């Protein structure tokens, strides 16, 4: 029996979720209906575009574009800072709704998932009927729209959901591959990034159909094993299953900043690192997660990048713990060369669970309660409502809620 797989993808997820939350809290303007973006620090116009509205897209604004360039294209652009606690709650609500239709739901990233519909068709009707019902329920009950792709495997379902947006349902069954998939530009195929695209274009492989008709041995020669992978994808071949293990919605959380002057003193670096740790810690707690791995990276004024990470024996979420480990890594890593860019990242995340407090960590509960109180104040009254004494009257501003150059939710592989 052929499988039936759905791929559900939220349209402009961060911006849609932000817009819905603001409307629910009394705002009258829907961010989705005006030129708007989510990203960076709106006051400084620093950082990158994480999500954009359809009106913003008409101005040529693209995801991952710098805020400076986005505002050049559209001076009246509305920019809001990301709120990961809002996004996590919206994502969990959607996953819970979808699990009413199938127990086999695989979280692929914070805004998309796969659903195995194979064994439940008798309960909820044909795949198309069920997809439209799910889509309407998500819009009516949660307030945002999704695209749904339907096929017999995950790669074709994912490609189907991308065919036309927003708020569409598409099929891409094996017999439809030549008609619907092959005319697409090769860069539209999943797992074809910029580097791979450039190599394919160099050899006249412009469309997915061109890729499918190219000799496999030649693709393996120029792209190694990756050539065989995308060749199979071009033919719609994929044997991976929908894995319903309870994965984290986010694989890592990080923040980074380019400093307006060269840092030459440890004390100055420590203040910037503390501010970055505040931002990372606040978002980690908002996502109700804890982290095993702490990482720090440094870019010198000569544009050399050095980085180091460490896995803890236990998970942490408090700003103080993240900062303490980040500074330990910094002291090991820094070679006294002037610094222009700093970043802090946490990874190997797990959901907040009851845990044993270690003998040397008896103050953890009090510290985490204090962190949560500070987070709540900043959420209600703005991030400037409370600041650490060590950051007052210094060159460093609080980065809580800001966006670094490398701020992206994690994405899981199809295979």
Distance of alpha carbon 345 from alpha carbon 322, whole angstroms = 9
Per-residue pLDDT tens digits for 282-339: 888 877 788 999 999 999 988 889 999 999 888 888 889 999 999 999 999 999 999 9
Give yes or no: 379 in active site: no
Instruction: Please compute the mean of the pLDDT values over residues 32-48 and round it to a whole number.
Output: 81
pLDDT of residue 114: 96
Query: In which residue are the tokens 């697409």 written?
Result: 184
Claim: this prediction has a pTM higher than 0.75: no
Query: In which residue are the tokens 């009516």 written?
Result: 140
Q: Are residues 113 and 224 in the same domain?
A: no
Predicted confidence (pLDDT) at residue 111 exceeds the cutoff of 80: yes
Predicted confidence (pLDDT) at residue 357 exceeds the cutoff of 80: no
Instruction: Please compute the mean of the pLDDT values over residues 369-398 and round it to a whole number.
Output: 53
Predicted confidence (pLDDT) at residue 50 exceeds the cutoff of 80: yes
Q: Are residues 204 and 171 in the same domain?
A: no
Predicted confidence (pLDDT) at residue 403 exceeds the cutoff of 50: no
DSSP sequence for 347-401: EEEEE----PPPGGGTTHHHHHHHHHHHHHHHHHH-GGGS--GGGTTSSPPP-TT
Per-residue pLDDT tens digits for 264-276: 999 999 999 998 9
Report residue 392's pLDDT band, with 50, 70 and 90 as the boundaries.
Answer: very low
Predicted confidence (pLDDT) at residue 136 exceeds the cutoff of 70: yes
Quick one: residue 143, left, alpha or beta (phi over 0 = left, psi -120 to 50 = alpha)? left
Q: Are residues 187 and 308 in the same domain?
A: no
Residue 402 within any structural domain of the chain: no
Residue 246 within any structural domain of the chain: no
pLDDT of residue 393: 47
Distance of alpha carbon 73 from alpha carbon 61, whole angstroms = 7
Q: Are residues 38 and 70 in the same domain?
A: yes
Distance of alpha carbon 74 from alpha carbon 61, whole angstroms = 8
Identify the CATH number of the domain in which residue 190 sits: 1.10.150.20
DSSP sequence for 39-89: -SBTTTTBSB--EE-HHHHTTT--TT-BHHHHHHH-TT-EEE---HHHHHH
pLDDT of residue 351: 72
Q: Are residues 187 and 177 in the same domain?
A: no
Predicted confidence (pLDDT) at residue 344 exceeds the cutoff of 50: yes
Q: At what angle do helices 364-381 and 319-333 cross, to 10 degrees?
A: 100
Q: Are residues 199 and 312 in the same domain?
A: no
Instruction: Please compute the mean of the pLDDT values over residues 209-216 and round it to a whole number.
Output: 98
Residue 410 within any structural domain of the chain: no
Strand pairing class (252-263; 169-171): unpaired
Predicted confidence (pLDDT) at residue 199 exceeds the cutoff of 60: yes
Query: In which residue are the tokens 């890729």 written?
Result: 211
Give the range of the structural domain holding residue 230, as residue numbers without chain letter.
182-234
Q: Are residues 280 and 338 in the same domain?
A: yes
Q: Are residues 373 and 304 in the same domain?
A: yes
Residue 333 within any structural domain of the chain: yes
What average pLDDT does the structure give for the chain? 85
Report residue 46's pLDDT band, with 50, 70 and 90 as the boundaries.
Answer: low
Catalytic residue, chosen from 112, 278, 325, 368, is: 112
| Domains of the chain: total | 3
Burial (CB count <10 Å: 0-12, 13-18, 19+), residue 8: buried
Identify the CATH number of the domain in which residue 154 sits: 3.30.70.270
Percent residues over pLDDT 90 in the chain: 62
Distance of alpha carbon 161 from alpha carbon 146, whole angstroms = 9
Residue 115 within any structural domain of the chain: yes
Report residue 45's pLDDT band, with 50, 70 and 90 as the boundaries.
Answer: low
Predicted confidence (pLDDT) at residue 96 exceeds the cutoff of 60: yes
What's 227's DSSP letter?
H
Q: Are residues 170 and 190 in the same domain?
A: no
Nearest to 83 by CA among 51, 117, 116, 129: 51
Q: Are residues 257 and 376 in the same domain?
A: yes
Identify the CATH number of the domain in which residue 336 sits: 3.30.1490.100
Distance of alpha carbon 203 from alpha carbon 221, whole angstroms = 13
Report residue 194's pLDDT band, with 50, 70 and 90 as the boundaries.
Answer: confident
Instruction: Please compute the mean of the pLDDT values over residues 29-56 and round it to a whole number.
Output: 86
Q: Are residues 128 and 217 in the same domain?
A: no
Report residue 58's pLDDT band, with 50, 70 and 90 as the boundaries.
Answer: very high
Q: Are residues 87 and 215 in the same domain?
A: no
């Amino acid at each position: 029996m052929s499988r039936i797989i759905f791929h559900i993808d939220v349209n402009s997820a961060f911006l849609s979720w932000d817009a819905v939350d603001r409307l629910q809290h009394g705002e009258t303007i829907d961010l989705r209906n005006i030129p708007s973006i989510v990203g960076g620090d709106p006051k400084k116009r620093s950082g990158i575009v994480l999500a954009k509205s359809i009106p913003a897209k008409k101005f040529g604004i693209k995801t991952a574009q710098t805020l400076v360039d986005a505002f050049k294209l559209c001076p009246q652009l509305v920019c809001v800072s990301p709120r990961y606690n809002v996004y996590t709650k919206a994502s969990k609500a959607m996953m819970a709704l979808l699990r009413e239709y199938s127990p086999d739901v695989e979280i692929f990233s914070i805004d998309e998932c796969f659903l195995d519909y194979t064994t439940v068709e008798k309960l909820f009707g044909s795949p198309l009927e069920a997809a439209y019902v799910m889509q309407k329920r998500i819009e009516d009950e949660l307030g945002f729209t999704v695209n749904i792709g339907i096929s017999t495997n995950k790669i074709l379902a994912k490609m189907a959901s991308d065919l036309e947006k927003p708020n569409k349902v598409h099929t891409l069954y094996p017999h439809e591959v030549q008609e619907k998939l092959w005319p697409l530009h090769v860069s539209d195929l999943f797992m074809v990034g910029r580097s791979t695209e450039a190599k394919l274009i160099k050899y006249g492989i412009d469309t997915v159909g061109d890729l499918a008709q190219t000799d496999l041995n030649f693709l393996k020669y120029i792209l190694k094993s990756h050539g065989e992978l995308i060749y199979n994808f071009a033919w719609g071949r994929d044997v991976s299953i929908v894995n319903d293990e309870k994965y984290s919605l986010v694989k890592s959380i990080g923040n980074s900043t380019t400093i307006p002057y060269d840092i030459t003193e440890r004390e100055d670096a420590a203040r910037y690192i503390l501010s970055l740790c505040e931002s990372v810690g606040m978002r980690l707690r908002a996502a109700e997660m804890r982290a095993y791995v702490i990482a720090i990276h440094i870019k010198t004024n000569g544009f050399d990048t050095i980085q180091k990470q460490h896995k803890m024996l236990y998970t942490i979420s408090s700003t103080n713990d993240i900062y303490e480990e980040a500074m330990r890594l910094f002291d090991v890593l820094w070679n006294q060369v002037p610094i222009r860019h700093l970043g802090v990242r946490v990874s190997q995340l797990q959901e907040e669970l009851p845990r044993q407090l270690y003998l040397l960590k008896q103050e953890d509960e009090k510290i985490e309660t204090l962190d949560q109180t500070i987070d709540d104040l900043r959420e209600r009254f703005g991030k400037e409502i409370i600041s650490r004494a060590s950051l007052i009257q210094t060159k460093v501003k609080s980065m809580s809620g800001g966006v670094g150059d490398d701020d992206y939710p994690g994405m899981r592989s199809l295979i």
